[in-house]
Structure 1
Amino acid sequence: MKHLIFTCIVFSFLALSSINCNSITNTAPDSVYMDYDHHKVPYKLYAPDEKYSLHYDLEEISGLALLNNERLVAVEDERGYVYVLKAQNGEVERKIKFAKGGDYEGVEVVGNYVYVVKSNGDIFSFQISDAEEVKADETDTDLSSSNNIEGLGVLDGKLLIACKGKGEINDKKVKGKAVYEYIIEEKKIANEPLFHIEEEQIEAFIKKRKFFNKIHGFDPSAIAVHPLNSDIYWLSADKVLVVLSPDFKLKEVVRLDGNIYRQLEGICFAPDGTMYLSSEGDGARGKIFKISYKSY
């Protein structure tokens, strides 16, 4: 009887240890989607905490930003509206007409102003308010449709503009995909990219992995800066997330599950590190995914 009790206690202890270990780390990869360093990217991107289906107007959601702890701002890429959403469920609180129809690809909030970037590099800005329609200020930049802009973020009070197309402006050659700074006060793009990356660098970074050791392209679709460590999270339409350190060095690469994320077009963070991703509906309703920050 004593032996039986002792055996039960031992098995119970081992079971609890296993549960606690898995809940704390869960870093052993067993698929292409788990094959990354969870200490460098402390999110279970293969298992988002929550998923919200959006209003049908946002089937082609193409950018996402944090307005405050309770609200997000989204833009879709055709009609010239931004949408204020409830962060807890993706419900539309209101929409604001800021420009005529066009190909809008990114949105960001800096202070009391909303900034929207068009695929040709034009920047629209307006002060956030309860108005249903505003007259946005439009700035023509040195970027063009050949750069095919597909991402807008903010770093140290300057906008980050990510190119999906060519990386050069003003005939200055740039290898790979580039990100430029937009100086808000001067209403101008910096002459040189802040950083750029080539597909070959990404391939070399992952080539020795067991599961995820090859990419099928890197075509940026969104960009954001992490609020806790200033890492730069750079999404690709090819279901890849590239993470750079604050000094723009390649830190980690994650393969994203296309069965979960149809077409990722937006990323932003809450102050506590909570990640929000937005995906176009691709014939269905658009989605927002909420993924909590893990301390490993």
Structure 2
Amino acid sequence: MKKVYTKLFYILPVLALLIFYACKPIASKFSSPAGYDLEKPDKFNMPESLLEISGITFYKGQPDTVYSIQDEDGKVFRQKWDIKDQKNVRFAAKGDYEDIAIIKEKIFVLKSNGHIFSFPFAEAVKEEAEQVKHSKGLIPKGEYESLYADEESSKVYILCKSCPVDKKKKTATGYVLNYKAEIDSLIPESTFSIDLEQIKTMNSKLKASLSPSALTKNPKTKEWYILASANKLLLIADENWKVKAVHRLSSSLYNQPEGIAFDKDLNLYISNEGDELTNGNILKFKYTAPGK
């Protein structure tokens, strides 16, 4: 009997520890910006026509209709939330189209080579846009996937995915264009740069590299939200492009994150391209005020 008690003396503490750790919640290696839980989305699966969905946006932040593109057809798609049926307007021939923005009653679409297509928002309900403008040479040659347009300032922001200017530097360069509605023209204004070494200061396990796939601005905090599909990262920067946080994204949830946008209620949306096994989708993250 004494031997039995002796064995129990050693076994019980071990069992207690096993039970403790089995019951203890496992800390996630993924984080989220304040107000959002990037691991608990409302998922909207896309139809086959939007398997390769890329950029997404809203008209004046109104969440009733999502406007999107996919990176093969020169079309802008529109859908009601959670309704697969889509309608579209053709604005150009097939090509590699990466992002979309709407300001001043104008739709802008970014092609991967830096060309910008634009046409009146009123033509979004047509089968084919008639007043299409194709702008070239506004920014240097390179590969681009990120476009954001600010309604208040009329400024359009484009961020390099891979550009010669960044080839030997740990930077991501961007360009600011000013949209002059009265002459329907984009005027080059300035440049900006993100120091990618800041990523390592946020997380020493990450590399000082980034291949931006989408760009937007938080309407409340004015922070930049920069998505990187290949890196599976969401980078948060302040108004001056100083990196404030870097959030890793789970590959099981984010197949190929290519688009990002906010609606007027501060809800966050991230679109993912699909593949042979996975539907394209848009993930919605409802905003919750910190402390609630």
TM-score (normalised: structure 1): 0.79
Partner of 1:218: 210
> How many angstroms does 1:187 deviate by?
1.9
Partner AA of 2:103 in structure 1: V
Corresponding residue SS for 1:160: strand
Alignment RMSD, CA only? 2.3
> How many angstroms does 1:174 deviate by?
6.5
Confirm or deny that 1:152 pairs with 2:147.
yes
Partner of 1:24: none
Partner of 1:19: none
Partner AA of 2:193 in structure 1: F
> How many angstroms does 1:215 deviate by?
4.5
Partner AA of 2:148 in structure 1: G
Partner AA of 1:74 in structure 2: S
Partner of 1:138: 134
In structure 2, stretches of 5+ residues that fail to align are 1-24
CA contact (8 A) 1:228 1:271 kept: no
Out of 155, 158, 174, the position equivalent to 1:179 is 174
Q: Distance in 2 between matches of 1:142 and 1:110?
A: 18
Partner of 1:231: 223
> How many angstroms does 1:232 deviate by?
0.5
Partner AA of 1:193 in structure 2: T
Residues 144, 286 of structure 1: alpha-carbon distance in 2 compared, 3 angstrom cutoff: farther
Partner AA of 2:63 in structure 1: N
Corresponding residue SS for 1:134: coil
Partner of 1:109: 102
Corresponding residue SS for 2:87: strand
Count residues in correspondence.
253
Corresponding residue SS for 1:268: strand
Q: Distance in 1 between matches of 2:164 and 2:174?
A: 8
The alignment-based identity, stated in percent, is 29
Confirm or deny that 1:69 pairs with 2:63.
yes
CA contact (8 A) 1:123 1:141 kept: no
Partner of 1:168: 165
Q: Distance in 1 between matches of 2:91 and 2:191?
A: 28
Residues 187, 74 of structure 1: alpha-carbon distance in 2 compared, 3 angstrom cutoff: same
> How many angstroms does 1:167 deviate by?
5.9
Partner of 1:16: none
CA contact (8 A) 1:160 1:182 kept: yes
In structure 1, stretches of 5+ residues that fail to align are 1-27, 208-212
> How many angstroms does 1:173 deviate by?
8.5
CA contact (8 A) 1:263 1:282 kept: no
> How many angstroms does 1:29 deviate by?
8.5
> How many angstroms does 1:150 deviate by?
0.7
> How many angstroms does 1:285 deviate by?
2.1
Residues 111, 276 of structure 1: alpha-carbon distance in 2 compared, 3 angstrom cutoff: same
Q: Distance in 1 between matches of 2:85 and 2:140?
A: 32
Corresponding residue SS for 1:194: strand
Partner AA of 2:135 in structure 1: T
Q: Distance in 2 between matches of 1:271 and 1:291?
A: 13
Q: Distance in 2 between matches of 1:292 and 1:104?
A: 28
CA contact (8 A) 2:198 2:208 kept: no
Residues 126, 142 of structure 1: alpha-carbon distance in 2 compared, 3 angstrom cutoff: closer
Out of 35, 43, 68, the position equivalent to 2:36 is 43
Q: Distance in 2 between matches of 1:214 and 1:31?
A: 17
Residues 256, 63 of structure 1: alpha-carbon distance in 2 compared, 3 angstrom cutoff: same
Q: Distance in 2 between matches of 1:201 and 1:80?
A: 36
Residues 196, 245 of structure 1: alpha-carbon distance in 2 compared, 3 angstrom cutoff: same
> How many angstroms does 1:30 deviate by?
1.2
Q: Distance in 2 between matches of 1:72 and 1:167?
A: 34
Out of 253, 256, 275, the position equivalent to 2:249 is 256
Q: Distance in 2 between matches of 1:92 and 1:184?
A: 33
CA contact (8 A) 1:120 1:143 kept: no
Out of 233, 248, 261, the position equivalent to 1:240 is 233
TM-score (normalised: structure 2): 0.80
CA contact (8 A) 2:226 2:236 kept: yes
